[in-house]
Amino acid sequence: MSDGQTVLSRGRANVVLATLFVGSFVLGSAELLMVGVLNLIADDLDVSIPTAGTLVTAYALGVAIGGPLLTALTIRFDKRLILLGSALLFALGNLVPVLTGSFVPFVVVRAVTGSLHGLFVAVAFLVAMAVVPPDRAGRAISVVFSGFAVSAAAGVPLGTLVGQALSWRDSFVAIVVLCALVCAVVAATVPSLPATGEAGAGDQARHAFAPRVLAVLGLGLLMFASLYSALTYIVPFLEGVTGVTGALLSVFLLAYGVSTAVGSFGGGRFADSGGAPRAMLVGCVGATASMVVLLVGGSIAAVVILALLVWGMFALGAVPAFQYRVLELAGPGSRLASSLPASAANAGIALGSVIGGAAIGAAGGSGVSSAVVAGIVVGVITIPIAWATGFLRRPAADGAAEPAPAA
């Protein structure tokens, strides 16, 4: 057990995990909400839809680049203080679009809040691992990540509904209020977790960016690229291939969202007791096979909804293992490394959307199934990489014999 670990009683640890779940749910809703109200923002601020789309890009870049930078700068800070500070600043940042009618400050603040999001998530994973015994670390990680999965399934539709019924600004007001609630709950439930005995940023970086860690980060990037090559264009696929339109689209998307939540909850169990490499391999195989079923049976609604259910469970079930594996291999650099899986995931999402769009463009713009084919091709590539990275281990000098990554 590391100096930074404070194992709590099971009941109190569950309260802390519930707090972290709520925090990740709120931040996940704030990130994904933009998709549902983008057209309203474009109309209100008098910009085009593609221009408004830079709000999504700015946030993703904030998570991918700003998150690790802020994590490095706050390595010596108490983890509880970081959670409180990042949630409070996140709330204040989301007030800016409510109070201003200018687009440029909106873009800037989205990059800033994305960076704060990345910082909160990185520290939330570490806090979750610190308050439970080592044999429950994977499940603790899955609880935090499940907040994001549930935000996609429930939080985003509700936020979009508020935006459509009232205004997009009201959706952001709701986020601000929820962030204030997160601050209050963190202050009441999360214990002080000072950074005693942790290496400085330079030593952290040496371990966090070791080749073995970079290999697993590369695998995670490809996993998300495979997923989002197809998922980015799933609505056109459902409309053009399956023949699903109108309100029924929401049913299919909700099925996928619910399955991702179930998968992420369950995936953490397989990460414990040395099962993280196997969980990532099974996730890659299952997600790729699900896309094959989606492609082959795309014209049959019952087959498609079944494929979406299985796809979500396998794809997101591997994510807790991905986070666990990076921290495990980073060892003494785990605090800085905790922010890197989110960066790899966001890079994979961006790459996947480009690959899927290029595949559709190469097919003349009419073959939306090409995006699923692209996802399958990338998925096939991930399988041998997942198998190979399963043999990676920390050097004994880094404490490889420890049963779980140090928090």
Measured torsion, CA atoms of residues 51, 113, 231, 137, in degrees rounded to the nearest 10: 170
- Give the number of C-alpha atoms closer than 13 A to the C-alpha of residue 294, restricted to the C-beta side: 32
Q: What is the mean pLDDT of residues 88-95?
A: 94
395 — pLDDT class (breaks 50, 70, 90):
confident
- Are residues 356 and 232 in contact, defined by beta-carbon separation less than 8 angstroms? yes
- Cβ-proximal residues to 397 (8 Å cutoff; 6+ apart), any chain: none
CATH architecture of the region 199-407:
Up-down Bundle (1.20)
> Residue 404 gets which letter from DSSP?
S
- pLDDT tens digit string along 322-362? 988 998 898 888 878 888 888 888 888 878 878 888 888 88
Query: How is domain 1-198 classified at the CATH fold level?
Result: Growth Hormone; Chain: A; (1.20.1250)
End-to-end CA distance of the chain: 8
If one counts every other C-beta atom within 10 angstroms of the C-beta of residue 92, the result is: 16
The pLDDT tens digits for 182-232 are 999 999 998 888 766 555 667 778 888 889 999 999 999 999 999 988 887
Same fold, 1-198 and 199-407: yes
Helix or strand run (H / E) with residue 262: helix 247-271
The residue extents of the domains of the chain are 1-198, 199-407
- Assess whether pLDDT exceeds 70 at residue 157: no
User: What contacts 35, CB < 8 A, 6 or more positions away?
Assistant: 56, 156, 160
Two structure tokens written together for 282: 């099974």
Give whole-number Cα distances, 204 to 63, 199, 331, 332, 380, in Å: 19, 6, 9, 6, 33
Nearest alpha carbon to residue 128 among 30, 7, 266? 7
Angle between helices 10-45 and 79-93 (to 10 degrees): 20
